[in-house]
Structure 1
Amino acid sequence: MTKRHLTYLACTAAIVGTGLAAAPSAPSADHRSVHRVNPGESIQKAVDAAEPGDTVLVAPGTYKESVRITDSGVTLRGSGAGRTVLVPGTGKDACATAGNGVCVTGTDDKPLEDVSVRSLTLRGFEKNGLWATRTEGFEVRGVSAEKNGQWGIAQERSVRSVVSHNVAEDNGDAGLFVSNTTDTEEGARDADGTVIRHNRMTGNRIGVTVRRLRNLSVERNEATGNCAAVFVVGDESEPRAGALSVTRNHIHANNKHCAATPRLPFLQGSGIVLTGAEDTVVARNRVEDNRGTSPLSGGIVLFKSFVGAVNERNDIRDNLVTGNSPADLANRDTAGANTFRGNTCTLSEPAGLC
């Protein structure tokens, strides 16, 4: 981890320390408990003993285990990313055998509410650093997800989440991944105001993937050194993906090369890509020096989805888009209902978008 990353996480830890008390639906302070875990002790045992409103506080150290949270209102908090580190162990529970570091798992009938994971590192898991499904009001803050095989921090079937002040580095696919579902085909779900903000993504295949969702924001993040920075992905399903915003992000030099997959061509030099999305606002981003020769390369790119769904009624405005190749702005779609206005750029496809 670089000195820059350590500085970023130190700032995050300070921010986290000021925000612990904000949980209006939690029990009063008199009824909360703190379950402390020291090196050599089981985090899972403490989580299992926690009641709604309790905090599991994990001391500095390296813990060889996966952790499964299945009760609402529980906070899992380390002593700071880089200080409290979870790595793969020998556990045989469902989370460990699936290859995940931390699993937050609700059900369709009983989603987990107001769970929080904070201030720790999840490193080297075969699949995902953190995996959440069927949650409401889930918060991930001050987490470093590093060198995990698929996604760094990922969730599906969830609403009103806050994913903030995290670092996602060198993960096999997306650093941050949010989706409607991952195991069935269906239309976009309403994320009910989920927020992805103040995160840093570097060295991943894709920095942030938003797949088949509506009603969320991606704001004030930094993405650099990935193959692609931000993907908003939809298809022909109904409801369509979109009705979301990508604003005030710093997207620069995402020029890592990633080989083609059965779903996508090779990736390199992609800033913000919309494919099969509608009614999305991409505004006031700084998008610089993303360069490549992939069909998806460029600063801000609209691309018809690979199943034929077009982008419609998207508003690309007031962005600073410079030094990208082959173009700063690229509309490689067939639909004509997207708008480009007020952007500062040099080259566009077709000409005239700057």
Structure 2
Amino acid sequence: MKKCHIAYLACTAALLGTGLGAAPPVAGRTVHLVLPGESIQKAVDAAEPGDTVLLTFGVYHESVTLSTPGLTLRGMGRHTVLEPAAVTGKAAGAAKAAGAAKAASTGKASGAAAGACAADGNGICVVGTKDHRVKDVTVAALTVSGFTRTGVHATATDHLTVRNVTAVKNGVWGIAQEGSVRGVFRGNTARDNGDAGLFLANSVKEEQGATDTDGTVVERNRLEGNRIGVTVRRLRNLTVAHNDLTGNCAAVFVVGDENKPKAGLVTVRENRIVRNNKSCPKTARLDALQGSGIVLTGAEDSLITRNLIEDNVGTSPLSGGIVLFKSFVGTTSDRNRISDNALRGNSPADLVVTDIAGKGNTFEGNACRTSRPAGLC
């Protein structure tokens, strides 16, 4: 591992044979350069707030945990690749326990914490606590592939940025965040992941009301071949915009339940949602999926506007261009505005409302041909 102060980035550029961007130097911040075969976690452990850990081209067989505020973990594009390391079950369990103890006692990432990340089946873990969210971490310009659970998993973060990350063929989620605020997910590609390409939730393990994300943004991502492109679960105050979603079983899910406060205040706008016709089987909590564009279930006060939604075709109860569906536990979707969308070729219809008990939902200015019930276009 080599180390340079940002004021001397020319030396790093010379080592790599490439430029590192136009950001101005900042006194006292350091770039930790990691080559294939070297430990990313060692560089992360050595980094101070505001530093950058820079990965060159190549394949790294490692999981990494970040809990240092202001830290940037950056590759050099999609040919900087993180894949799982071979870890035995016994070793993984020991590492997980040691990592949990270390995090509880110090709040700082360590090799043991990275072992816990690996044992949970994740590639990159960004970890804060309920009392102290980790702030201003960035993960950028790399690929995470083949992890049994999640490519990039974040919990208890504030203003996490994930940009230009490619998450491919991970067992559950490509990129996931829970219990966090002010996240920015921009310019990523999530492809062929077992569940959602991008998954955002209040909590995975606890039943509780929706939490306010303070304006989290999901924009200009490409999401294809996943079970669901983007899942927003039990959250409020979030925007999903300018994304390209194709080849998933379902494109966008906004999900709530009976807990208070209710999920909602989500804006889904100006997305391209085309041919999400992959077939996915029924699960314990959800019917089989195929041909779903945007699904609102148990959500309130959301805006679905100016989306292009075409040729999403299926026979699932959740199939259709834009679907309002009563939640798994019977909670209605209320006071949502569906306006100025362009829909065509969706089946069983462009607009589908099976949540007939929902109140105050409006449909205005949509360019569409078919609806269930009739008269919504």
Shorter-chain TM-score: which interval? over 0.9
Alignment counterpart, residue 287 of structure 2, candidates 256, 265, 272? 265
Residue in structure 1 matched with residue 363 of structure 2 by the alignment = 340
**1:207-254 alpha-carbon deviations (Å, 9 max, x no partner):** 000000000100000100000000000011100000110000000000
Residue in structure 1 matched with residue 53 of structure 2 by the alignment = 56
Following superposition, the deviation at residue 20 of structure 1 comes to 5.3
Alignment counterpart, residue 40 of structure 1, candidates 24, 33, 37? 37
Residue in structure 2 matched with residue 349 of structure 1 by the alignment = 372
In structure 2, the residue corresponding to 1:90 is in which secondary structure? coil
Residue in structure 2 matched with residue 311 of structure 1 by the alignment = 333
Amino acid across the alignment from 1:173: D
Following superposition, the deviation at residue 319 of structure 1 comes to 0.1
Following superposition, the deviation at residue 285 of structure 1 comes to 0.2
Alignment counterpart, residue 74 of structure 1, candidates 71, 75, 93? 71
Following superposition, the deviation at residue 116 of structure 1 comes to 0.2
**1:289-343 alpha-carbon deviations (Å, 9 max, x no partner):** 0000000000000001010100000000000011000000111112231000000
Query: Does 2:263 match 1:241?
Result: yes
In structure 2, the residue corresponding to 1:143 is in which secondary structure? strand
What CA distance in whole angstroms lies between the structure 2 residues aligned with 1:337 and 1:36?
Answer: 55
Alignment map for 1:269-308 (pairs within 5 Å): 269-308=291-330
What CA distance in whole angstroms lies between the structure 2 residues aligned with 1:48 and 1:251?
Answer: 41
**1:180-223 alpha-carbon deviations (Å, 9 max, x no partner):** 00110000000000000000000000000000000010000010
Residue in structure 2 matched with residue 13 of structure 1 by the alignment = none
What CA distance in whole angstroms lies between the structure 2 residues aligned with 1:65 and 1:20?
Answer: 28
Amino acid across the alignment from 1:90: A
What CA distance in whole angstroms lies between the structure 2 residues aligned with 1:206 and 1:153?
Answer: 12
Amino acid across the alignment from 1:224: T
Alignment map for 1:138-153 (pairs within 5 Å): 138-153=160-175
Larger radius of gyration: 2
Deviates more, 1:272-281 or 1:90-99: 90-99
Query: Does 2:110 match 1:88?
Result: no
Residue in structure 2 matched with residue 170 of structure 1 by the alignment = 192
What CA distance in whole angstroms lies between the structure 2 residues aligned with 1:350 and 1:341?
Answer: 15
Where in structure 1 do 4 or more consecutive aligned residues deviate above 4 Å?
A: 17-21
Query: Does 2:189 match 1:159?
Result: no
Residue 116 to residue 152, structure 1, CA distance change in 2 (3 Å): same
Alignment map for 1:88-237 (pairs within 5 Å): 88-90=84-86, 92=92, 93-237=115-259
Gap regions ≥5 residues in structure 2: 1-19, 93-114
Gap regions ≥5 residues in structure 1: 1-16, 22-27
Q: Percent identity?
A: 60
In structure 1, the residue corresponding to 2:27 is in which secondary structure? helix
In structure 1, the residue corresponding to 2:43 is in which secondary structure? helix
In structure 1, the residue corresponding to 2:369 is in which secondary structure? coil
Amino acid across the alignment from 2:167: A
Following superposition, the deviation at residue 18 of structure 1 comes to 5.8
Deviates more, 1:288-297 or 1:88-97: 88-97
What CA distance in whole angstroms lies between the structure 2 residues aligned with 1:283 and 1:114?
Answer: 30
In structure 2, the residue corresponding to 1:208 is in which secondary structure? strand
What CA distance in whole angstroms lies between the structure 1 residues aligned with 2:248 and 2:139?
Answer: 25
**1:150-174 alpha-carbon deviations (Å, 9 max, x no partner):** 0000000000000000000000000
In structure 2, the residue corresponding to 1:152 is in which secondary structure? strand
Q: TM-score, normalised by structure 1?
A: 0.92
How many residues are matched?
Answer: 332
What CA distance in whole angstroms lies between the structure 1 residues aligned with 2:124 and 2:266?
Answer: 28
What is the root-mean-square deviation of aligned Cα atoms in Å? 1.3
What CA distance in whole angstroms lies between the structure 2 residues aligned with 1:19 and 1:158?
Answer: 30
Residue 196 to residue 291, structure 1, CA distance change in 2 (3 Å): same
Residue 20 to residue 277, structure 1, CA distance change in 2 (3 Å): farther
In structure 2, the residue corresponding to 1:265 is in which secondary structure? coil
In structure 2, the residue corresponding to 1:44 is in which secondary structure? helix
What CA distance in whole angstroms lies between the structure 1 residues aligned with 2:22 and 2:247?
Answer: 30
Amino acid across the alignment from 1:94: A
Amino acid across the alignment from 1:338: N
Alignment counterpart, residue 321 of structure 1, candidates 332, 343, 349? 343
Residue 55 to residue 288, structure 1, CA distance change in 2 (3 Å): same
Q: TM-score, normalised by structure 2?
A: 0.87
In structure 1, the residue corresponding to 2:173 is in which secondary structure? coil
